[in-house]
Amino acid sequence: MKDIAYYNGQIGPIDEVKAPVTDRGFYFGDGVYEAAIVRSGRIFALSDHLDRFYSSLSLLRIAPPMERDAFAALLLNLCQKVDGDGIHVLYWQVTRGNAHRRHTFPQDVKPSLMAFVEPAGLDPVDKPMRLLSMEDTRFFHCNIKTLNLVPNVMALQQAAEAGCEEVVYHRGDRVTEGAHSGLAILKDGVFCTPPADELILPSVTRLHCLQLCDQLGIPVRIAPFTVDELKNADEVLILSTGSHCVPACALDGQPIGGKDPALLHRLQQAYQEKFTAEMG
C-alpha cells in the first residue's frame, strides 16, 4: 500500500477513508495535530512529537484518544503497512469529537482520531530559502498546535506569490516564527532562538538543535531577537520537521546570512547524523 489513512477505527487508502460532517474539526478547527517523518516503518522523534501532542490536548481540554503507549503502537502499525523504505510523512489529529454545531463543549462525546501516511520528501539543506516579513496578527495561543491555521495559510500564499518559500512573522519588532517553521539565527558563533512562550510553537526541531548545540559545545542564547538582528545575523535558520535546518538567503528581496557556513554545516551535519542514527 503506497499510502494509508485511519479515522476512528476505519483503515484504508487516503482517498477512501471518510469522516462525518459533524466532526468539530470541520467547523471550529476544534482539535490539535502533529506531523512526523517516517522511513522504513520508523517514526523520527516520535517521543518528542507525542510530548507536544499530549500537551496541546491538555491545553485545549481535549481528552486523549487513548493511553500514550497504545497510541504510539497504533501509529507505528500504520507506518509499517506502507510499502517501500523511502521518506513518508505521518500526520495525525484529534478533534473534540462528532456533535451538532454548538460552540460549547459537547457532553459524552469521544474525541475523533484521524491519521495518514503518504510519500514525502525533505527540503534540501543546501538550497537556501527566501523569506518575506509580515506582522504576526495571529492569536496568543501559538504554543498549541491547533488546527486553526488560516492565518498561516494566507501568509504562506502571500510569500509564494512574492517568490518566497517562508514567512518571518514579527510582533512589532520582535521576531516570532515562520508560517510553518521555527526560526533561529547564528551570530558570532552563538545559536540564538526565541523563548518557547505563547507566541511560538515549541518546535521539535528547535529542541533537537538546542540539544545538538549542547553536545557540540556551541553557545546558546534563548531570548527574543529583532528583525534588524535577523537581518544582520551571520546565518538565518529555518527549522521544521520537513527541512530540519535550512538556511535563508534573502528577506524582502535583500540578501541575508551566508557569513558563517562552517558553523551552519557543522550543525546541519550533526542533525543529519542524528536523523540517520535514529532512522537507520
pLDDT computed for residue 16 by the predictor: 96
pLDDT computed for residue 85 by the predictor: 81
Pick the range with the lowest mean pLDDT from 1-5, 34-38, 153-157, 248-252.
Answer: 1-5
Residue 242 sits in the same domain as residue 161: yes
Residue 164 sits in the same domain as residue 183: yes
Instruction: Give the tens place of pLDDT for each residue, 38-97.
Output: 999 999 999 999 999 999 999 999 999 999 999 999 999 999 999 888 999 999 999 999
Residue 174 sits in the same domain as residue 194: yes
Is the residue at 13 inside a domain? yes
Residue 160 sits in the same domain as residue 42: no
The β-bridge partners of 259 are none
Domain range for 88: 4-119
Residue 113 sits in the same domain as residue 156: no
The CATH number covering residue 73 comes to 3.30.470.10
The CATH number covering residue 162 comes to 3.20.10.10
Residue 148 sits in the same domain as residue 232: yes
pLDDT computed for residue 157 by the predictor: 98
Residue written as grid cell 535546518: 245
pLDDT computed for residue 153 by the predictor: 97
Work out the angle at residue 39's Cα, subtended by the Cα atoms of residues 15 and 217, and round it to the nearest 5 degrees.
135
Instruction: Give the tens place of pLDDT for each residue, 101-141.
Output: 999 999 999 999 999 999 998 888 889 999 999 999 999 99
- Answer with the residue of higher pLDDT: 143 or 85: 143
56, 32 contact by CB (below 8 A) = yes
pLDDT computed for residue 140 by the predictor: 92
pLDDT computed for residue 1 by the predictor: 82
Residue 164 sits in the same domain as residue 188: yes
Residue 224 sits in the same domain as residue 246: yes
Q: Which of 31, 55, 85, 36 is nearest to 208 (CA)?
A: 36
Residue written as grid cell 496578527: 137
Instruction: Give the tens place of pLDDT for each residue, 248-273.
Output: 999 999 999 999 999 999 999 999 99
- 3-state SS assignment for residue 217: coil
Q: Where does residue 227 rank: exposed (0-12), middle (13-18), buried (19+ CB within 10 A)?
A: middle
Q: In the annotation, is 231 catalytic?
A: no
Whether 280 shows a pLDDT value over 80: the answer reads no
Is the residue at 34 inside a domain? yes
**Residue finishing a domain among 119, 141, 161:** 119
Whether 200 shows a pLDDT value over 80: the answer reads yes
Instruction: Give the tens place of pLDDT for each residue, 172-182.
Output: 999 999 999 99
Is the residue at 124 inside a domain? no
pLDDT computed for residue 83 by the predictor: 87
- 3-state SS assignment for residue 54: helix
Residue 113 sits in the same domain as residue 157: no
**Residue finishing a domain among 94, 119, 144:** 119
Residue 168 sits in the same domain as residue 250: yes
Q: Which of 255, 239, 219, 126 is nearest to 175 (CA)?
A: 239
**Residue finishing a domain among 119, 154, 178:** 119
Catalytic annotation, pick one of 2, 145, 187, 259? 145
Residue written as grid cell 527549522: 239
Instruction: Give the tens place of pLDDT for each residue, 20-33.
Output: 999 999 999 999 99
Domain count, the chain: 2
Residue 138 sits in the same domain as residue 248: yes
Residue 193 sits in the same domain as residue 85: no
- Answer with the residue of higher pLDDT: 280 or 220: 220
Is the residue at 79 inside a domain? yes
Instruction: For the chain, give the mean pLDDT.
Output: 96
